[in-house]
Amino acid sequence: MKVTRRDLLLLGAAGTAGLVVTPVPWKLLDDVSIWSQNWPWIPQPTRGPVEVKQSFCTLCPNGCGMRVRMAAGWPVGVAGVSSHPISRGALCPLGYGAHQLNWHPQRLRTVRHRANSSSWGEARAAFAKACSEGRIAIVDGQPGRAASSVMKTFVQKRDGSYRVALGPESQALAPYEIWSGVPAAALGYDLENAQTVVSFGAPLLDGWGSPGRFTRLWAERAAGMADPQLRLIQVEASLSGTSLSRTAARAWQWVPVRAGAEGALAAGLARALLDEHLVSVSARGPMPPLTVAQAAEQTGLSTGAIVDLARTMIARPPVVAIANDGNPAIAALNVVLGAAGARGGIVRRSKHAESYASAEGVIDSARAVLIDSTVPWDFTPKTDAEVFRFAAWDGGSSKADWLLPAPGFLEELTDVPTAPASAVETYAVAPSLVKAPPEVQSAAQFLGGIDPASITVEKIIHTRCDDLFRGRAGTLHGQEATPVAKVESVQKLEEQLWKGAVWIGEPPRSGDFRCELKEWPATGSSARVVNRSSVNWSRAWLAPVLPPLVSKLCQESSLREAPERRNS
Amino acid sequence: MSARYGMAIDLDRCTGCGACMVACAAENNAPPLPQATPRTGLTSMLVRQVSNGMEGAARREVFIPIMCMHCEHETPCVSVCPQQAVEVDKATGIVMQMPQRCLGCRYCMTACPYHARYFNWWDPAWPAGMEKSLNPGVAARMRGVVEKCNMCHARLHSARAKAAAAGKREIDPADYIPACVEACPTEAIRFGNLADENDPVSRDAHSPDAFRMLARLDTEPKLYYKSKEAWVRELAESKSGRGPEVKHG
């Protein structure tokens, strides 16, 4: 058969027409599209058995309950635990990205001695030598843990000093310790029973205490209500041209004052309460050093506004004032209001808490200072001693002589003592969910290597569980609430705690704590100015780095500002 | 029975913490983009801060979470997509985005009146080792496609699988809660079935304080907002260049 040019043209035309009506080109196009959009370098999620484990966030002292979703043994997501009686299912934005922190590029993985690579053996030898040559000091950021006991016992054996770097919530309670003799660590805010809360610059809705505690209370009793059951009054500087702080924006009333005049306003309010006979005679103590007119001059408010605010405060008792730092004038206002030791005010939550020496002062006559990984990165001890700094992440610009890699998020067994501002005692155990890399050690493990006789964290946690069981007080909050008196054995109690239950102590009783003001404190100290929209949700956030997904808040949107590197 | 999933967001309860944004990114394997700006970021859930424009004690501010509104009627992104990469799921009412079909033409981004769609400018990347922390239920999307909220569809799949394993046809509502709803510390964001009159979200949607964004466009969004403050409700119909000042995110 002879093939003509016409046949070839017909074949070509038929082939083209046939190709168009067959699914081949469309299928090829689709395949190319899928292939070209799934490059091999695009990361694939880990496959493996998925399980959910309970734990607690240990990245700040508030210890919120956390459900950790694990795939093939790695944490792939976190969520709050709604049965947790304090955090009530909430986590802060940093907590939601915390499961990625262990792979942060700034993760510390080697021992460093003055910027040079070193080893654990050399670090241990250097610290042991320092211990033999002189006194040592240990700085802890979250006192009350089993690891804190290890550190404290170690320094006490060697006549050293145990110091604590306290967060702002704890600092605000320090003046009451001076006036009452009750350790600040035994005190808390009974916000659940307060009806008026006056915050002097404290970011109550943005990183103060457990995120679930006050924000939930506020949402249930105040949000969107013209006459709320919980009146939140925010005293805060008015900074022209900037957004309001989250607390000022959502407060029932915002009182703009001059920056740093919070103490003067507290004194002016106390004076107005006393001058106008708005508080009981028994509250009468020393007169505040400022008249209402003087306070008005310092704060930028009118005298009428200060008197009106004083009346508003006491209109819906119980009322409590909350400072943003250790400003004693605001604590003194609470004494005048009768809030110190009263229901809905400052309460004593514990009978056996102890006083801590602050790490803020000069640490003199020490040969070496060891800083635990729970101390926020920007803490720099005032000392000439050799500094051994534990940290899981390198925040940069460290002045420590030794930088020692510590376990990261969920890599270490720890217990979770009471959160700083809590009105009740709590206790929980956060088991290690992820195997720590071999190159990291906690401070407690490090000290155990120097003193083999030192007791381990596991044993201390076991002893504490035993003490809780023998005490027969409080309630265990797991899947359901069970009074400790009804728990059958210490093993059952320990088992529940290891599975994520929380022990809650007895509620505080009014009258357990009395405060007497001998003289009015200075009002000169100013409340710290907090960056209003920084991503530093909790000022006690101990990691020097933030979860990478926080870029959504400060890079990919303008919801919050990137944090300032305070020590860089 | 088909559902119409929607949300009711109580703006009076929102403190603008941003937990919903981080939880959304973690759930949906959105990569951290430290090189991105608010114009090039990938924030399927975005909280905007808006003020009433006043100064001093009269100043008020509100935080508004913005995401795909899952428009029911003449869904703008569906009608412009040349690839049929967007469709409204008849069984759920969710506006679905299929990245495998997307050409990256971004017509849908132009068409969306809520600016709730984002273009993936970069290949997704995480620091070394961090891919172990990715949610195994969601595949990472590729560069060059448009992304948006799909109401955590992977969670709906899990809920359906769980129901099927138990021999049930309907999912347990407790098994399907989007990540932003779960993360909200004040329970400002609520999720439910608008087709069910007894659902709390359905009741919220009929509250006198409820409103929808740009309701005049008649796209029938399935996201409802609530506020007792009149100036906040008026924001919903604000036109460009007028009204309260917005801190663009």
User: Quick check: A568 pLDDT over 50?
Assistant: no
What confidence tier does B246 reach under pLDDT thresholds 50, 70, 90? low
* B151 in contact with chain A, both atoms CB, cutoff 8 A: no
Question: For A276-302, how does the pLDDT look when each residue is reduced to its tens digit (9 = 90+)?
Answer: 888 876 666 788 888 999 999 999 999
- Residue B38: CB atoms within 10 Å: 15
* B157 in contact with chain A, both atoms CB, cutoff 8 A: no
Fold of the CATH domain B5-150+180-247 = Alpha-Beta Plaits (3.30.70)
Q: What is the mean predicted confidence (pLDDT) over A540-553?
A: 87
Q: What is the mean predicted confidence (pLDDT) over A257-276?
A: 91
Pick A112-162+356-504's CATH classification: 2.40.50, 1.10.287, 3.40.50, 3.30.70: 3.40.50
User: Quick check: A531 pLDDT over 80?
Assistant: no
Interface test with B, best of A74, A233, A239, A559 (most B CBs within 10 A): A559
Q: What is the mean predicted confidence (pLDDT) over B162-190?
A: 95
**Token reading at A123:** 């670090």
Which residues from A are below 8 Å from B100, CB to CB?
33-34, 37
Contact A255, A199 (CB under 8 A): no
What is the distance between the alpha carbons of residues A88 and A68, in angstroms, rounded to a whole number?
16
- Cα of A24 to nearest chain B Cα, Å: 17
Is pTM, for the whole model, over 0.90?
yes
A219/B188 CB distance under 8 A: yes
ipTM higher than the 0.90 cut: yes
- Tell me if residue A376 falls in helix, strand or coil: coil
What confidence tier does B52 reach under pLDDT thresholds 50, 70, 90? confident
> B84 vs A98, B79, B101, CA distance in Å?
37, 9, 7
In the DSSP assignment, the letter for residue A382 is B
A558/B61 CB distance under 8 A: no
A553/B22 CB distance under 8 A: yes
CA-closest candidate to residue A490, choices A458, A467, A460 = A467
Instruction: Please tell me which of the candidates A45, A92, A256 has its beta carbon nearest to residue B57.
Output: A256
Quick one: A50-103 is in which CATH superfamily? ADC-like domains (2.20.25.90)
Q: Locate the domains of chain B by residue range.
A: 5-150+180-247
Please name the residues in contact with A210: beta carbons below 8 A apart, sequence gap of 6 or more. A62, A63, A64, A86, A87, A90, A419, A421, A422
Which residues from B are below 8 Å from A556, CB to CB?
33, 36-38, 40-43
Instruction: Please tell me which of the candidates B126, B182, B247 has its beta carbon nearest to residue A79.
Output: B182
Q: Is A221 exposed, middle or buried (0-12, 13-18, 19+ CB in 10 A)?
A: middle
Give the N- to C-terminal CA distance of chain A in Å, as an integer: 88
- Cα of A369 to nearest chain B Cα, Å: 33
- CA A289 remoteness from chain centre: 35
Question: For A302-311, how does the pLDDT look when each residue is reduced to its tens digit (9 = 90+)?
Answer: 999 999 999 9
CA dihedral sign of residues A533, A535, A536, A537: positive
Question: For A116-161, how does the pLDDT look when each residue is reduced to its tens digit (9 = 90+)?
Answer: 999 999 999 999 999 999 999 999 999 999 999 999 999 999 889 9
Q: Locate the domains of chain A by residue range.
A: 50-103, 112-162+356-504, 169-352
Which residues from A are below 8 Å from B182, CB to CB?
79-80
Measured at the CA of A535, the angle between CA A411 and CA A94, to 5 degrees, comes to 30
Nearest CA in chain A to B136: A45
**Token reading at B200:** 């709390």
Look at residue B58 in the predicted model and tell me its pLDDT: 83
Contact A246, A205 (CB under 8 A): yes
**Token reading at B225:** 């907002």
Please name the residues in contact with B193: beta carbons below 8 A apart, sequence gap of 6 or more. B3, B4, B5, B6, B173, B199, B201, B202
- Residue A288, preceding bond cis, omega within 30 degrees? no
- Cα of B220 to nearest chain A Cα, Å: 26
Which residues from A are below 8 Å from B85, CB to CB?
none
> B38 vs A197, A552, B118, CA distance in Å?
36, 9, 10
Which residues from B are below 8 Å from A255, CB to CB?
57
A551/B60 CB distance under 8 A: no
In the DSSP assignment, the letter for residue A468 is H
Q: What is the mean predicted confidence (pLDDT) over B53-58?
A: 81
- Cα of A151 to nearest chain B Cα, Å: 33
Average pLDDT value over all residues in chain B: 91
User: Quick check: A538 pLDDT over 70?
Assistant: no
B127/A92 CB distance under 8 A: no
- Cα of A219 to nearest chain B Cα, Å: 6
Question: For B97-121, how does the pLDDT look when each residue is reduced to its tens digit (9 = 90+)?
Answer: 998 888 899 999 999 999 999 999 9
A426 forms beta bridges with: A504
Look at residue A212 in the predicted model and tell me its pLDDT: 87
> A540 vs A162, A536, B114, B211, CA distance in Å?
19, 9, 37, 39
B25/A552 CB distance under 8 A: yes
Question: For A448-470, how does the pLDDT look when each residue is reduced to its tens digit (9 = 90+)?
Answer: 999 988 889 999 999 999 999 99
Quick one: A169-352 is in which CATH superfamily? Dimethylsulfoxide Reductase, domain 2 (3.40.228.10)
What is the distance between the alpha carbons of residues A378 and A376, in angstroms, rounded to a whole number?
6
Please name the residues in contact with A40: beta carbons below 8 A apart, sequence gap of 6 or more. none
- CA A444 remoteness from chain centre: 21
CA-closest candidate to residue A450, choices A129, A149, A110, A118 = A129
6-45 in chain B: CB under 8 A from chain A: 10, 12-13, 15-19, 21-23, 25-27, 29-30, 32-38, 40-43
* B115 in contact with chain A, both atoms CB, cutoff 8 A: no
User: Quick check: A35 pLDDT over 90?
Assistant: no
